[in-house]
Amino acid sequence: MKFIVIVFTFFLFSICAPGQNAKIVVIDPGHGGHDSGAIGINGILEKDIVLTIALEAEALNSLSKESHLQIYLTRYTDTFISLKDRSIIPKVLKADLFISLHSNYSKNPDARGIEIYLYEQKNIFQTESLIFATSLENEFKSTLGFESRGIKFANFQVVKDVSRICKSVLFEMGFLSNRDEAYYLDKNIETIASSLLKTINENLRL
């Protein structure tokens, strides 16, 4: 699997090589394949919703004539890729930013809000990751009306592995176990992807 991921990434990079001033972004739609992730109260699967949002963000970026971003995904279909293999792609592409997309779940149906995670141990990109996380939190609160459960530090493998490569976050985009948030995530794909892309653009212009 690792070999396939690397070859596929080099293939993408060769046919879609970024311009000299382009910033490279890797969006990681969590889960995939046999790993569905959370199952929403309305029956939607985490693996599907995060992939749809990631694909939409990539599509919106490709339609922009003024974009300075080159966006790659760790998966483009409903396939399972190991956490270790996901971290190979930003390394190969020498990414400027890595975002792992997820949606949350709780036994409490009233639990709601976004959460953004950074790797817990101090690293060279920690401050830059925190700046991006703060911008992302503010955008989803002010523009989309999400509550925030805060920016947190954890030992998630995917951000741990990428923390040595570029600024990176794991983004929990609301709770699929909350009726309102599950419905919003399912019915507002373009709006969510647009806010995600806006934050990326603003951050990478700094």
pLDDT tens digits, 77-118: 999 999 999 999 999 999 999 999 999 999 999 999 999 999
Q: What is the mean pLDDT of the chain?
A: 92
Residue 7: pLDDT band (50, 70, 90) is: very low
Burial of 173 (0-12, 13-18, 19+ CB in 10 A): buried
Q: Is the residue at 55 inside a domain?
A: yes
Q: Which DSSP category does 17 fall into?
A: P
Following DSSP, what letter does each residue of 116-178 receive, concatenated? Answer: EEEESS--TTHHHHHHHHHHHHHHHHHTT---EEEEEEE--HHHHHHTTTSEEEEEEEEETTS
The pLDDT, as a whole number, for residue 185 is 97
In a domain, 171, yes or no: yes
pLDDT > 70? residue 6: no
In a domain, 12, yes or no: no
Tens of pLDDT along 49-77?
A: 999 999 999 999 999 988 899 999 999 99
Domain contains 10: no
Domain total in the chain: 1
Residue 169 lies in a domain: yes
> In 3-state terms, what secondary structure has residue 16?
coil
Cβ distance 110 to 30 under 8 Å?
A: no
pLDDT tens digits for 138-164? 999 999 999 999 999 999 999 999 999
Could you tell me the CATH number of the domain that includes residue 153? Answer: 3.40.630.40
Phi and psi torsions of 113, nearest 5°: 110, 165
Is residue 7 domain-resident?
no
Domain-located, residue 68: yes
Domain boundaries, position 118? 22-204
Strands 114-119 and 167-175: antiparallel
Rounded to two decimals, what is the model's pTM? Answer: 0.91
Q: What is the mean pLDDT of residues 12-24?
A: 63
- Rounded distance between C-alpha atoms, residue 41 and residue 175, angstroms: 9
**Rounded to an integer, what is the distance from CA 16 to the centroid of its chain?**
20
